Amino acid sequence: MINEHGGVTRAAHVGEQLSGYLDGELTQQQRQRVRLHLEECAECAHLLEELTALRARTGESDLSGLGADRWRENMNEPGVALSRGLGWLLLIGAGVMIGAIGVFKFLTDPGLGAGWKILVSAFYLGWLGLFISVLRQRLIERRSDPYKDVEI
Amino acid sequence: MQDELAMLGNGAHALAIQILGNRDDAADAVHDAFARVLARPQAWDRKHGPLRPWFLRIVRNRCIDLLRRRRPAGGLVEELAATGPGPDAVLEALQRDRRLERALADLTPEQREIIVLRDYLDLAYAEIAAVLDVAPGTVMSRLHRARLALRKRMEQENDQ
């Protein structure tokens, strides 16, 4: 767009498409339009040069400042994996044993009648059934969600 | 998968620094993301796209969680200001990085993260849209505004 002074008005600049051009994210038609504009507009051509240099500078920088091996070492740290595995093993093992002893004591307790034992067992088995049902439903839902770890 | 993730560590850390403004918090966020992914590696399905944008989105979400829980005590500018320049022969590149980091620190978090995603991590616009959870069409305009802001801030840095 040419203004009354013969210059290119701001509205005629390619704007954000300059970044798309720089990144190779434009369609062929858009690329052609930007290329033609750059041939005529020194301001946009200069801006493109600056943005290209800025992008290169950002790409060459080291914004993390940490060694590349740090993350691999951390993930493979044997102490972490061992203590985590041991922790889970103890927790699950002790839980199963305590539960088994409790059930055994309850079933062999001579002070409780068979009626009470059946009633209490039915109550806890009911809870267990509901828990398993909900857990199963959740597992099915999670299996069908590819981005289950992605939460906002 | 561990090797692939390890390769993403520094890039994810750079992104987290720009969101949180603090290197230690950023490292925590990346470690947290690693732990979550490694606890359930089956969560990522190769059919649904590359690992990098998926993992970066998890890192970004961990950063947002951290921001919700606590604001950073000191901004990146203060932290960087405390890191004085060393001998010139060794540190010319480092000083250049510091100028860039100071300039980035003056942008908004949204501007910083999109610049890191594109210009540092070299993600395509579609991948950036997936990480930021925005429409692909908004990436170009947001990135361009961020670049113009960074360019302006870099000019000020170079004048100093």
Distance of CA A7 to the CA centre of its chain: 49
Share of chain B above pLDDT 90, in %: 26
For chain B, the distance separating the N- and C-terminal CA atoms, rounded to the nearest angstrom, is 45
Contacts of A52 in chain B (CB under 8 A): none
Average pLDDT score over residue span B10-26: 87
Report how far residue B8's alpha carbon sits from residue B69's, in angstroms, rounded to the nearest whole number: 25
- When scoring B15, B20, B100 by the number of chain A Cβ atoms within 10 A, the one with the most, hence best to mutate, is B100
Give the pLDDT band of residue A1 (cuts 50, 70, 90).
very low
pLDDT higher than threshold 80 for residue B70: no
Mean pLDDT of B48-65: 86
Residues of A in contact with B154 (CB under 8 A): 54
CB nearest to A149's CB, from B18, B31, B36: B36
Given CATH 1.10.10.10, say whether it is the number of domain B2-159: yes
Candidates A12, A35, A10; CA nearest to A22 is A35
**pTM score > 0.80 for this model?**
no
Which ipTM was obtained for this model? 0.73
Query: Number of residue pairs across A and B with CB atoms under 8 Å?
Result: 116
B144: chain A residues, CB-CB within 8 Å: 15-16, 18-20
Average pLDDT, chain B: 81
Domains in chain A: boundaries: 10-60, 86-143
Res B83 pLDDT > 80: no
Q: What percent of chain A has pLDDT over 70?
A: 76
pLDDT tens-digit series, residues A119-133: 989 999 999 999 999
- For residue B28, pLDDT over 90 is answered with no
Give the residues across from A8 on adjacent strands.
Answer: A2
Cross-chain CB nearest to A63 (options B40, B116, B154): B116
Whether the pLDDT of residue B85 is over 80: the answer is no
C-alpha separations of B67 from A64, A101, A130, B60, B64 in Å: 19, 46, 37, 10, 5
Taking the alpha carbons at both ends of chain A, their separation in whole angstroms is 44
- The pLDDT, as a whole number, for residue A77 is 66
- Statement: residue B116 has pLDDT above 60: yes
| pLDDT reported for residue B84 | 44
